Amino acid sequence: MSSQTLEQFLNENLEDLRGKGLYNVIDPLESPNGPVIKINGRELINLSSNNYLGLATDERLKKAAEQAIEKYGVGAGAVRTINGTLELHVKLEEKLAEFKGTEAAIAYQSGFNCNMAAISAVMDKNDAILSDELNHASIIDGCRLSRAKIIRYNHSDMEDLRAKAKEARESGLYKKLMVITDGVFSMDGDIALLPEIVEIAEEFDLMTYVDDAHGSGVLGKGAGTVKHFGLQDKIDFQIGTLSKAIGVVGGYVAGKQNLIDWLKVRSRPFLFSTSLTPADVAASIQSIEILTESTELNERLWENGNYLKKGLKELGFNIGDSETPITPCIIGEEKLTQQFSKRLNEEGVYAKSIVFPTVPAGTGRVRNMPTAAHTKEMLDKAISIYEKVGKEMGVIN
Ligand X SMILES: *Cc1c(COP(=O)(O)O)cnc(C)c1O
Of residues 162 and 228, the one with the C-beta less far from ligand X:
228
Q: Choose which of 54, 111, 220, 224 interacts with ligand X (CB under 6 A).
A: 111
- Identified catalytic residue from 89, 227, 244, 309: 244
Which residue of this chain has its Cβ atom nearest to ligand X in the complex? 111
**Residue 149: CB minimum distance to ligand X, A:** 21
Tell me which residues in 159-198 interact with ligand X (CB under 6 A).
Answer: 182, 186
Give 356-365's long-range contacts (Cβ < 8 A, gap of 24+): 358/187, 359/187, 361/334, 362/332, 362/333, 363/330, 363/332, 364/330, 364/331, 364/332, 364/333, 364/334, 364/336, 364/337, 364/338, 365/187, 365/320, 365/328, 365/329, 365/330, 365/331, 365/337
Q: How many residues does the chain have?
A: 397
Tell me which residues in 206-245 interact with ligand X (CB under 6 A).
Answer: 211, 213-214, 241, 243
Of residues 243 and 298, the one with the C-beta less far from ligand X:
243
Range in contact with ligand X (rule: CB under 6 A) among 36-44, 106-114, 359-367, 384-392: 106-114
Beta strands in 22-103, from DSSP E residues, in sequence order = 36-39, 42-46
Q: Residue 189: how many CA atoms within 13 Å on its side-chain side?
A: 24
Of residues 168 and 326, the one with the C-beta less far from ligand X:
326
Size of the site for ligand X (CB under 6 A): 13
Range in contact with ligand X (rule: CB under 6 A) among 91-99, 110-118, 260-268, 375-383: 110-118
Of residues 49 and 304, the one with the C-beta less far from ligand X:
49
Start-end of H helices in 189-332? 194-204, 225-228, 257-266, 268-272, 278-293, 296-314
**Residue 24: CB minimum distance to ligand X, A:** 17
Compute the distance between CA of residue 330 and CA of residue 353 in angstroms, rounded to an integer.
10
The contacts of residue 87 (CB under 8 Å, 6+ apart) are none
The torsion angle over the Cα atoms of residues 391, 393, 396 and 397, rounded to 10 degrees, is 50
Strand order, beta sheet including 349-350: 36-39, 42-46, 349-350
Q: Count other C-beta atoms under 10 Å from residue 169's C-beta.
A: 16
Contact between 295 and 220 (Cβ < 8 Å): no
Q: Choose which of 35, 247, 251, 328 interacts with ligand X (CB under 6 A).
A: 251
Q: Choose which of 48, 49, 110, 284 interacts with ligand X (CB under 6 A).
A: 110
Is 136 known to be catalytic?
no
The CA-based diameter of the chain, rounded to the nearest angstrom, is 63
The contacts of residue 389 (CB under 8 Å, 6+ apart) are 340, 343, 344, 347, 395
- What is the contact mask toward ligand X in residues 52 to 91, using x (rule: CB under 6 A)? ----------------------------------------
Q: Is 138 among the residues that bind ligand X (CB under 6 A)?
A: yes
**Residue 172: CB minimum distance to ligand X, A:** 32
Q: Is 324 among the residues that bind ligand X (CB under 6 A)?
A: no
**Residue 251: CB minimum distance to ligand X, A:** 5
- Identified catalytic residue from 136, 164, 214, 374: 214
**Phi, psi (5° rounding) for residue 314?**
-60, -30
Is 89 known to be catalytic?
no
Is 228 known to be catalytic?
no
Range in contact with ligand X (rule: CB under 6 A) among 104-112, 172-180, 314-322, 387-395: 104-112
Of residues 117 and 329, the one with the C-beta less far from ligand X:
117
Compute the distance between CA of residue 252 and CA of residue 184 in angstroms, rounded to an integer.
17
- Identified catalytic residue from 48, 131, 186, 322: 186
Of residues 139 and 315, the one with the C-beta less far from ligand X:
139
Q: Residue 332: how many CA atoms within 13 Å on its side-chain side?
A: 9
Q: Is 367 among the residues that bind ligand X (CB under 6 A)?
A: no
Of residues 136 and 309, the one with the C-beta less far from ligand X:
136
Residues assigned a catalytic role: 186, 214, 244
| Residues near ligand X (CB under 6 A) | 110-112, 136, 138, 182, 186, 211, 213-214, 241, 243, 251
